[in-house]
Amino acid sequence: MEGEVAKVCPESYAMKGGEGPHSCAQNSASQRSSIEAAKNFLQSAIASKFDLRTICASSTNPICIADLGCSTGPNTFIAVQNVIEAIQIQCPSQQNHNQATPEILVFFNDQVSNDFNTLFQKLPPNRNYFAVGLPGSFYGRLFPRQSLHVVHSSAALSWLSELPKELTDTSSGACNKGKIFYTNAPKEVFDAYERRFKMDLEAFLQARAQELVDNGILACLILVADDLIDFSVDMYAGKDYELLGSCLMDMAKLGLISEEKVDTFNIPTFFPHVKDLMKIFEANKDFSIEQSELIDNKGFLAPNIESHVSRLRAVLEVLIEKHFGDGIVDELFDRFTEKVRAYPEVLDALKFKFHVLFVVLKRKVVIKA
Amino acid sequence: MEGEVAKVCPESYAMKGGEGPHSCAQNSASQRSSIEAAKNFLQSAIASKFDLRTICASSTNPICIADLGCSTGPNTFIAVQNVIEAIQIQCPSQQNHNQATPEILVFFNDQVSNDFNTLFQKLPPNRNYFAVGLPGSFYGRLFPRQSLHVVHSSAALSWLSELPKELTDTSSGACNKGKIFYTNAPKEVFDAYERRFKMDLEAFLQARAQELVDNGILACLILVADDLIDFSVDMYAGKDYELLGSCLMDMAKLGLISEEKVDTFNIPTFFPHVKDLMKIFEANKDFSIEQSELIDNKGFLAPNIESHVSRLRAVLEVLIEKHFGDGIVDELFDRFTEKVRAYPEVLDALKFKFHVLFVVLKRKVVIKA
């Protein structure tokens, strides 16, 4: 029981809290449709892969579910409800009728800077589960060992634990001067992002392997890039980040912000190629891949430019204010709206080169010595 | 697994959040000294009453501790650390060395309106436990059944789940017109408060009886009144609430607030007589009383009038603003400061007629049919 069990992530990102027009809560429609699209996959995966009777030896122990990267809702509540419904379906058939039905405890996790107050106020009042909030980075241990039965995470694994140091090191080939993302950047920039993503995902899997019970389920929705995309030249999802970067450079040229601030700003997200992502899962010794599906991303796309900009703002506003200070966000996103209007094909690029991977992993049984 | 497990309390009180001068975080020194005073009692109670080996059959299950009414810290962290130290002392002697040391999961609970964001930001960074926040009223079920090993609560049980309806019913003898507390009020007012307190405490014990494992420990610090006090005539802790009520009436007479608003405002706290409180515990069939001690309340008292007023403001500000609206709190507490200066014996009354009861209960073993 000695030592630290709570590791703090060096950098912490969280979506915009509260319920204002630029809050995550008001801009989560795109994720929701992907959660809806995953509902059938998720429920059939739990029905076939999650054996309630084997996993919950005792009905006095609650079934523990975690949603990692929950933000402030409401998507996390929908996802959790989907998991619970899938488990409940098993109850009449698998449950020993002499025992009490197991109760459910749900852990809602996000960064310490997440707005948990808003999350808690919006918890469904008639929920059939006990609910707690758990602050901290999911790239480290968050839960006691072998305490979770099902872990769910939607779109949160795109966020790196921290930015690769090389991006702001002027002596490095990966220095990303004048840009804020890896598209159309030197290959070294992409490689630095990719290395960080791989290390983070491995750390994520290592932590979850300790926290999940034997045969426990890890279901993730991950934003991925089509395998055909060459990031150094191709139009892509990240293209809109490029446009946003060019708006920042325009503002730097006008003296509204310093160019050095733009040089040291990079968006800490990464969208892996499908095949590279699957290689990481395949190489992992603690989990078996039970299912992987590319989900239609139609519902993921904003219906128009304004709503696309608003969603991106909800995701990036806190990060931008933290780096550049208050007072630039309104102008930045006004300029960005103009640029997207001038290049509306950015939205098409998102449509065709961008997918959502739904993957279900199962914790292998630990052989005890 | 059907139906609601999460009951929402009809009224919700929480201390002032954030870290400002009137926040609970900045005004928690009095509670802290009572937690310090209880430390030795708590640690020896856990050492002698909490049998780690019996309670934690499997070391893969974490030890689960809850602090109920945690507010935003730092007292909750001190109390939890005291509990953990007491458990850790048992580890070398009671632990099977072939097994991994059990990990610890701490649930910090308070009302939904509590400032959990501040609590989470202040979690000790090098803590040796996993930490979650759990929003909701502890007068209902909060945790899965038989999931907790130790429950701690400090000074939170003074808060009623809701005000007795009779207090604002003009046809009732318990109508508390022109007053905001039960001191020097009609006996029916005191009786209404006392009935509500008894029902609440019984509901609290019933919920905890379901949530604690067999032999699990419930340790509470409860603010109590000396058995010699007759509330209808005596000077008492509640006397300062009386003074606060008279300030509200003064403001009503000046037209700054409506008298009807004062008539319908009552402070939802109750300080039971020691003997009446013990009767409730003795009558409970689910718990045995392992220990009960009156703790010196010296450290509980504010060193001067300003600090006394500031502490009371931290406790009541949210409640007052909710009832009377914004903008009266500064003037109210300025007036209150003047009145306490005119009647400094109020602080003496607190000193001699007011105690802290430390009580340790143990969950009786449930005989299975």
ipTM of the complex: 0.89
How does strand A212-225 pair with strand A287-295? unpaired
pLDDT band at residue B54 using 50, 70 and 90 as cut-offs? confident
Question: Residue B2 pLDDT > 50, yes or no?
Answer: no
Predicted local confidence at residue B97, as pLDDT: 52
Structure tokens, B255: 């037209």
Question: Residue A351 pLDDT > 80, yes or no?
Answer: no
Mean residue pLDDT across chain A: 86
* Across B169-182, average pLDDT: 90
Please, are residues B131 and A46 in contact by the beta-carbon 8 Å criterion?
A: no
Nearest chain B residue to A114 by CA distance is B117
Instruction: Calculate the dihedral angle through the C-alpha atoms of A323, A327, A332, A335, rounding to the nearest 10 degrees.
Output: -160
Backbone angles phi, psi at B284, to 5 degrees: -75, 135
CA distance to partner chain B, nearest, from residue A145 (Å)? 7
Predicted local confidence at residue A2, as pLDDT: 35
**Rounded distance between C-alpha atoms, residue B25 and residue B34, angstroms:** 16
Lowest mean pLDDT among A10-14, A244-248, A284-288, B182-186: A10-14
Residue from B112, B94, B223 nearest B157 by CA: B223
**Rounded distance between C-alpha atoms, residue B356 and residue A268, angstroms:** 51
Residue with tokens 């060019």: A246
Instruction: Give the residue numbers spanning the domain of A122.
Output: 25-363
Lowest mean pLDDT among A30-39, A89-98, A344-353: A89-98
DSSP state of A1: -
| Structural domain count of chain B | 1
A345, containing H or E segment: helix A345-353
Mark yes or no for CB contact B5/A121 under 8 Å.
no
Mark yes or no for CB contact B133/A112 under 8 Å.
no
* Across A100-127, average pLDDT: 94
Whether residue A181 lies inside any domain: the answer is: yes
* Across B316-345, average pLDDT: 92
Please, are residues B29 and B115 in contact by the beta-carbon 8 Å criterion?
A: no
- CATH number at B235 reads 3.40.50.150
Question: Residue A7 pLDDT > 60, yes or no?
Answer: no
DSSP state of A292: E
pLDDT band at residue B35 using 50, 70 and 90 as cut-offs? confident
Predicted local confidence at residue A246, as pLDDT: 93
* Cβ neighbours of A107 in B, within 8 Å: 132
pLDDT tens digits, one per residue of A287-311: 999 999 998 776 667 778 888 899 8
Question: Residue A319 pLDDT > 70, yes or no?
Answer: yes
Residue from A116, A24, A42, A48 nearest A80 by CA: A42
Predicted local confidence at residue A32, as pLDDT: 72
Mark yes or no for CB contact A1/B128 under 8 Å.
yes
CA distance to partner chain B, nearest, from residue A102 (Å)? 7
Whether residue A240 lies inside any domain: the answer is: yes
Residue from B134, B131, B126 nearest B104 by CA: B131
B214, containing H or E segment: strand B212-225
Burial pattern B184-221, b for ≥16 Cβ within 10 A else e, equals bbbebbbebbbebbbebbebbbebbbbbbbebbbbbbb
pLDDT tens digits, one per residue of B299-324: 667 778 888 899 889 889 989 999 99
**CA B232 to the chain's CA centroid:** 24
CA distance to partner chain A, nearest, from residue B99 (Å)? 11
Question: Residue A325 pLDDT > 60, yes or no?
Answer: yes
Structure tokens, B267: 């402070």
Mark yes or no for CB contact B145/A107 under 8 Å.
no
Mark yes or no for CB contact B120/A135 under 8 Å.
yes
Residue from A129, A86, A333 nearest B6 by CA: A129
Mark yes or no for CB contact A6/B131 under 8 Å.
yes
The residue with greater pLDDT, A101 or A322, is A322
Burial pattern B12-23, b for ≥16 Cβ within 10 A else e, equals bbbbbbeeeebb
How does strand A148-154 pair with strand A63-68? parallel
Predicted local confidence at residue B261, as pLDDT: 93
* Cβ neighbours of A131 in B, within 8 Å: 6, 134-135
**Rounded distance between C-alpha atoms, residue A66 and residue A129, angstroms:** 12
**Rounded distance between C-alpha atoms, residue A354 and residue A352, angstroms:** 6
Please, are residues A129 and B5 in contact by the beta-carbon 8 Å criterion?
A: yes
Predicted local confidence at residue B214, as pLDDT: 92
pLDDT tens digits, one per residue of A38-72: 888 888 888 888 887 777 655 567 999 999 999 99
Tallying the residues shown for chain B, one arrives at 369
pLDDT band at residue A196 using 50, 70 and 90 as cut-offs? very high
Question: Residue A122 pLDDT > 50, yes or no?
Answer: yes
Predicted local confidence at residue A234, as pLDDT: 61
* Across A13-40, average pLDDT: 70
Please, are residues A1 and B91 in contact by the beta-carbon 8 Å criterion?
A: yes
* Across B253-282, average pLDDT: 95
Which residues have a Cβ under 8 Å from the Cβ of B11 and sit 6 or more positions away? Answer: B161, B162, B163, B268
Structure tokens, B264: 């319908």
Encoded amino acid at B363, one letter: R
Please, are residues A5 and A141 in contact by the beta-carbon 8 Å criterion?
A: yes
* Across B350-356, average pLDDT: 77
Which residues have a Cβ under 8 Å from the Cβ of B64 and sit 6 or more positions away? Answer: B104, B105, B106, B107, B143, B147, B148, B149, B150
DSSP state of B64: E
Q: Is B291 helix (H, G, I), strand (E, B) or coil?
A: strand
* Cβ neighbours of A60 in B, within 8 Å: 145-146
* Across B150-154, average pLDDT: 95
**Rounded distance between C-alpha atoms, residue A35 and residue A29, angstroms:** 10
Question: Residue A8 pLDDT > 50, yes or no?
Answer: no
Predicted local confidence at residue B226, as pLDDT: 84
**Prior bond to B102 cis, omega within 30?**
no
CA distance to partner chain A, nearest, from residue B150 (Å)? 16
Mark yes or no for CB contact B132/A134 under 8 Å.
yes
**Rounded distance between C-alpha atoms, residue B167 and residue A82, angstroms:** 45
**Rounded distance between C-alpha atoms, residue A249 and residue A246, angstroms:** 5
Mark yes or no for CB contact B129/A6 under 8 Å.
yes
* Cβ neighbours of B141 in A, within 8 Å: 130
Q: Is B77 an 8 Å CB contact of chain A?
A: no
Encoded amino acid at B214, one letter: D
Encoded amino acid at A353, one letter: K
Mark yes or no for CB contact A112/B105 under 8 Å.
no
Vertex B279 angle, CA B276 and B285, to 5°: 150
Residue from A327, A306, A307 nearest A317 by CA: A327
Mark yes or no for CB contact B1/A91 under 8 Å.
yes
Mark yes or no for CB contact B5/A103 under 8 Å.
yes
**Rounded distance between C-alpha atoms, residue B124 and residue A112, angstroms:** 12
pLDDT tens digits, one per residue of B195-251: 999 999 999 999 999 999 999 999 999 999 888 777 666 655 567 888 999 999 999
- Sign of dihedral through CA atoms B314, B240, B176, B226? positive
- Nearest by CB to residue B112, choosing from A61, A100, A121, is A121
Residue with tokens 């501040």: B118
Whether residue A305 lies inside any domain: the answer is: yes
Which residues have a Cβ under 8 Å from the Cβ of A42 and sit 6 or more positions away? Answer: A79, A82, A83, A86, A152, A219, A358, A360
Structure tokens, B289: 């009383």
CA distance to partner chain B, nearest, from residue A303 (Å)? 34
Predicted local confidence at residue B57, as pLDDT: 57
Which residues have a Cβ under 8 Å from the Cβ of A57 and sit 6 or more positions away? Answer: none
* Across A199-212, average pLDDT: 98
pLDDT band at residue B48 using 50, 70 and 90 as cut-offs? confident
Q: Can you give the pTM of this predicted structure?
A: 0.90
Q: Is A366 an 8 Å CB contact of chain B?
A: no
- Nearest by CB to residue A107, choosing from B6, B8, B132, is B132
Residue with tokens 């459910």: A104
Whether residue A369 lies inside any domain: the answer is: no
Mark yes or no for CB contact A133/B130 under 8 Å.
no
Structure tokens, A134: 């758990």
**Rounded distance between C-alpha atoms, residue B286 and residue B264, angstroms:** 37
Please, are residues A140 and A41 in contact by the beta-carbon 8 Å criterion?
A: no
Question: Residue B5 pLDDT > 50, yes or no?
Answer: no
The residue with greater pLDDT, B55 or A148, is A148
Nearest chain B residue to A109 by CA distance is B132
Whether residue A11 lies inside any domain: the answer is: no
Predicted local confidence at residue A237, as pLDDT: 56
The residue with greater pLDDT, A77 or A225, is A77
Mark yes or no for CB contact B103/A144 under 8 Å.
yes
Predicted local confidence at residue B192, as pLDDT: 96
Question: Residue A188 pLDDT > 50, yes or no?
Answer: yes
The residue with greater pLDDT, A193 or B32, is A193
Residue from A79, A82, A106, A93 nearest A51 by CA: A93
Whether residue B369 lies inside any domain: the answer is: no
The residue with greater pLDDT, B162 or A17, is B162
Please, are residues B147 and B62 in contact by the beta-carbon 8 Å criterion?
A: no
**Rounded distance between C-alpha atoms, residue B134 and residue B9, angstroms:** 14
Cα separation of the two ends of chain B: 21
* Across B3-29, average pLDDT: 57
Predicted local confidence at residue A6, as pLDDT: 36
Nearest chain B residue to A127 by CA distance is B4
Predicted local confidence at residue B83, as pLDDT: 93
**Interface residue of B5, B60, B114 to substitute, partner A, most A CBs within 10 Å:** B5
Which residues have a Cβ under 8 Å from the Cβ of B236 and sit 6 or more positions away? Answer: B183, B225, B229, B349, B353, B354
Whether residue B307 lies inside any domain: the answer is: yes
Question: Residue B279 pLDDT > 70, yes or no?
Answer: yes
Question: Residue A170 pLDDT > 80, yes or no?
Answer: yes
Q: How many CB pairs under 8 A join A and B?
A: 133
